[in-house]
Amino acid sequence: MEHIQTFQTVAQQGGFVEVNQSQVATVLWLRKMTPSAVRDTHQRMCIDSLTKSATVYWMGVPGQVNSRTFRDVSALQEWCKVEPDITPQR
């Protein structure tokens, strides 16, 4: 459970806020408050205590959902720090 709390701490430091938790407390859903870049559009995170992982979902192009799963807290922490290139508007 400590591993999951560490994921949650990193997520909150990255701008995510809790949305809801499953009834049996195995999954925690979070969302990004305000997008700062294209990768942040409609960004959600699922922290799963059964798989001991965190998966981030985001919409890069309308209708296309991207995801990335992290099994290591430090990898999630690095990913949250990276500022992606902003796609120019047309």
Q: What is the pLDDT of residues 19-73, one digit of tens each?
A: 876 667 788 999 987 655 555 568 899 999 899 999 999 887 777 889 999 999 9
87 is a domain residue: no
Q: Are 18 and 7 in contact (CB under 8 A)?
A: no
- Count of domains forming the chain: 1
86 is a domain residue: no
88 is a domain residue: no
- The predicted pLDDT at position 85 comes to 45
Q: Which domain holds residue 69?
A: 2-81
Per the model's pLDDT, the better-predicted residue between 80 and 39 turns out to be 80
Question: What is this structure's pTM?
Answer: 0.78
Tell the burial category of 58 from Cβ atoms under 10 Å away from its Cβ (0-12, 13-18, 19+).
Answer: buried
Residue 90: is its pLDDT beyond 50?
Answer: no
19 is a domain residue: yes
For 6-33, the pLDDT digits (tens) are 999 999 988 899 887 666 778 899 998 7
89 is a domain residue: no
Q: At what angle do helices 2-13 and 73-81 cross, to 10 degrees?
A: 0
22 is a domain residue: yes
